[in-house]
Each structure stands twice: as structure tokens, then as C-alpha cells.
Amino acid sequence: MPRSATASLRAPATSPASSQAEVGRRLHGLEQRHHGRIGAYAIDTGTGRVLSYRSGELFPEASTYKAMVTGAVLQKARRSDPGLMDRVVHYTRDDVVANSPITEQHVDTGMTVADLCDAAITVSDNTAANLLLKQVGGPSGLTAYYRSLGDPVSRLDRWETDLNIWRPGEKRDTTMPSVYARDLRALTLGNALAPADRTRLVGWMKANTTGNARIRAGLPKSWTVADKTGTGSTYGATNDIAVAWPPSGAPVVMVILTNSRAADGATDEKAVAETATVLAHGLGRAG
């Protein structure tokens, strides 16, 4: 987003309590301007400071789960199936669903599980995600993985592309910003994965090509961002989850989940970018 727009969202340094209140006020204003709902949770991993907004409400995951299923696959390969990442998965043309730019090119040859992880994260390839889900027991297997992370809320119930259909009150394929941020932190910065696997996951997320107008756009260009986006097919669901490293200091974990108030609402990447700006300034980390 334009630097002038970013600058207009800046706030002076304040106490944690007043900063949280200011963030709430600003995000409420963004909701009004964008005619939608915003769920946000940010953790400064250096200070432990947290900012949140609607963080206990359910939102559709959309494709953000692809980072999580990749974590589940990496863990399986490490713990019980050491050859998994190099194994070639074969599939047919009938398995290919919409938005599968990489897998649709490799029907004749198949793809390694590692390449499926790359495709699922860097270009949000839906067929790759379905094939990864099969490696961990399907949607219910990923839900079980969430539970193993200590997450009692997040769930996956359907496959691509049906999981992208959401309406208010829907519980399938949903999460809460607060628990999802803790999951993301565990996978990318914590001990949920072995160090080499953690590095691999973060590397794929840094190489993501679908998030340039979302959290990345709301943070200073000097920051390094590893993210995974999600875009629903109803109610304009527009998400991004990220770990972001400023030039100095500890990384910040951000989960931003949004949706329109209208069933035919459009994708709104600007709302995500502006939310990221508000969160970074609220944490005093926007410099």
C-alpha cells in the first residue's frame, strides 16, 4: 500500500493497555470502511506483547491451512516415514481441481511430496494440498494434528475446493486468530518441528508469491516476511498468516483473517495490509 497510507495509520508510543484500545478502535474503523469483519492476533516474540481483535471468533481458514498441513507432512517424514519427502506421488487428470498451476503440468510424471509442499505454499496449488492431505489422513488427520499442537479449535472438514465455501455460522474448516497464531509460532519458531524441517517450512513461506498485497504490503519493505495466504470463494474471505522479521529485534507473528458482510463480497487485500500496519505500529515495531 502507499507509504502515505501507511503513515496515516501511525500512532504514538503508548502503554500496552492503551495501545490495545487504540488498535481496537482503528480496526473497528477499518471494518466500517471495508464493510467487513477483521480477526487479528499479533505476538512480539521478543517482549511477549500481544495485540488482538476478534481473536476468539471463528473465521474460515481458506488456504492458510496449507502451511499447517505442510508442517504435519514434515513431522510425519521425520518421525515415522523417513523417505516421504522424496517419494513421487502419482495422480490423474481427474484429481486436478481449480487453481492448480503446478500440479496440472505434471500429471504424466507425478511430483515428489517435497515439490507438492513447495507448490501448495508458494502458489497455493489446490491439488497439491489435496495430495498432501492424503499423506496425513485427510482433513480429519489435519484436525488431529491441530489437537497435537494443543489447539482445541482449528479444524479441517472438507477437501479442495469445497472448503473455501463459507457462510456466517459455519464451523467447518474454521479457526480463531488467537489459536492459529500459536500454531504458526510453534511450527515456525518453536519446537513443533525439528530445526531442519522448521527451516524448510519457513523457506517455502518466504518464497510465497501470493501475499505481496497483504501482510507484506502493510509492513516496512525492510522486513522479511514468511507468509501463507488464504482466499475464500464466498463472503470475500481474505486471509494471511505470517512470521515477520524486522531489521533488528525478534520476529513478530501475525494472523489476519477477514471476510465481507456480503455473500458476494470481493476479496479485500487492502484490509489485510492496513490491519498489518495497525498491528505493527501498536507493537511499536513499525520502524
CA–CA gap between residue 136 and residue 201 (Å, rounded): 16
Is 55 a catalytic site residue? no
Cα(72)–Cα(51) distance, integer angstroms = 27
Residue of 19, 52, 55, 63 with catalytic role: 63
From 31, 61, 160, 274, the catalytic residue: 160
Contact 89, 117 (CB under 8 A): no
Task: State the alpha helices, DSSP H only, in the chain.
Answer: 3-8, 16-34, 65-79, 113-122, 126-135, 138-148, 177-188, 195-206, 215-218, 269-282
Q: Which three cell numbers stand for residue 71?
A: 508442517
CA 150 to chain centre: 18
For 10, which DSSP code? -
Q: Residue 130 to residues 125, 185, 204: CA-CA distances in angstroms?
A: 9, 24, 18
140 in active site: no
Fill in the DSSP letter of residue 165.
-
CA 56/CA 255 separation, integer angstroms: 12
Residues designated as active site? 63, 160
